[in-house]
């Protein structure tokens, strides 16, 4: 969430968290950019009127980094031209202030649902590795790779975030459904197994103190 207005930000954060979302709130474009350099979230709520850079610029930058990331623009301007500029800058959707929190939540659900559906159905090609998420099949040069269920799910997750850093906490939360402070040793063991089984087809780079990044070789 990128929003410089304290009262709107607080209201959105409270509503989102009470619906089970994990929220990172940035009050300037610069703070948001620094954080989003490292990781791509599931969805971005982006205020157009920011103190340092305008939301359209940030939106364009984000869209270049991820073609599928849902970006909801929040704007006080409801002139048609702003909506057109926003959508042309790559926004998925927009709400104009003042907006109803329940409408924003419904739109968030809709966007998350559509990315999940698109992701889970499509096979993923990573150079010599092909992954079919729905069938739980991964193959290397056409030969199926023997993976345990959790190893497969970890591979799918890393593959969907290929080229980007994913933190250990994020992996534990999203692949293992554990709370962020659970042991990260489990993650390391599964990463080691994937490296062993995938050989030199892909590389899983450890980013010290942060997490991992999958690189296609």
**Which residue's CB is nearer to Ca ion, number 4 or number 174?**
4
Helix or strand holding residue 66 (H, E)? none
Burial code of 88-117, b = ≥16 C-beta within 10 A, e = fewer? ebbbbbbbeeeeeeeebbebbeebeeebee
Name the residue nearer to Ca ion (CB basis): 3 or 151: 3
CB-nearer residue toward Ca ion: 24 or 130: 24
CA distances from 129 to 82, 90, 140, 141, 172 (A): 43, 30, 5, 7, 24
- For position 4 contacting Ca ion by CB under 5 A, the verdict is yes
Nearer to Ca ion, 91 or 187 (CB): 91
For 129, the 3-state DSSP assignment is strand
Q: Distance (Å, rounded) from C-alpha 30 to C-alpha 10?
A: 20
Asked if 82 touches Ca ion (CB under 5 A), the answer is no
Provide the minimum distance between the beta carbon of 4 and Ca ion in the complex, in angstroms, as a whole number. 5
Residue closer to Ca ion by CB (options 53, 216) is: 53
CA distances from 177 to 8, 98, 153, 173, 180 (A): 30, 35, 12, 5, 9
**Quick check: 49 binds Ca ion (CB under 5 A)?**
yes
Of the listed pieces 4-12, 54-62, 100-108, 197-205, which binds Ca ion according to CB under 5 A? 4-12
Kindly indicate which of the ranges 46-54, 136-144, 153-161, 208-216 contains the residues binding Ca ion, using the contact rule CB under 5 A. 46-54
Region near Ca ion per CB under 5 A, out of 15-23, 43-51, 88-96, 181-189? 43-51
**Three-state DSSP state, 206:** strand
**Residue 47 interacts with Ca ion (CB under 5 A): yes or no:** yes
Number of residues that bind Ca ion (CB under 5 A): 4
Residues that bind Ca ion (CB under 5 A): 4-5, 47, 49
């Amino acid at each position: 969430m990128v929003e410089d207005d304290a009262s709107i930000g607080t209201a959105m954060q409270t509503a989102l968290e009470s619906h089970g979302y994990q929220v990172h709130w940035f009050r300037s474009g610069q703070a948001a950019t620094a954080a989003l350099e490292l990781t791509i979230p599931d969805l971005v709520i982006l205020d157009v009127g920011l103190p340092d850079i305008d939301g359209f610029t940030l939106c364009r930058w984000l869209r270049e980094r991820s073609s599928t990331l849902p970006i909801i623009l929040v704007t006080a301007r409801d002139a048609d031209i702003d909506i057109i500029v926003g959508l042309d800058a790559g926004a998925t959707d927009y709400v104009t202030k003042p907006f109803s929190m329940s409408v924003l939540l419904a739109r968030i659900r809709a966007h998350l649902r559509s990315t999940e559906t698109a992701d889970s159905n499509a096979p993923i090609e990573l150079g010599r590795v092909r992954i079919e998420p729905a069938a739980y099949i991964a193959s290397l040069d056409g030969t199926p790779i023997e993976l345990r269920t959790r190893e497969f799910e970890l591979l799918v997750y890393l593959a969907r975030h290929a080229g980007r850093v994913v933190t250990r906490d994020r992996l534990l939360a999203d692949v293992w459904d554990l709370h962020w402070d659970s042991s990260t040793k489990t993650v390391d063991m599964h990463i080691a197994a994937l490296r062993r089984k995938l050989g030199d087809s892909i590389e899983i780079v450890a980013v010290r103190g942060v997490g991992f990044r999958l690189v296609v070789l």
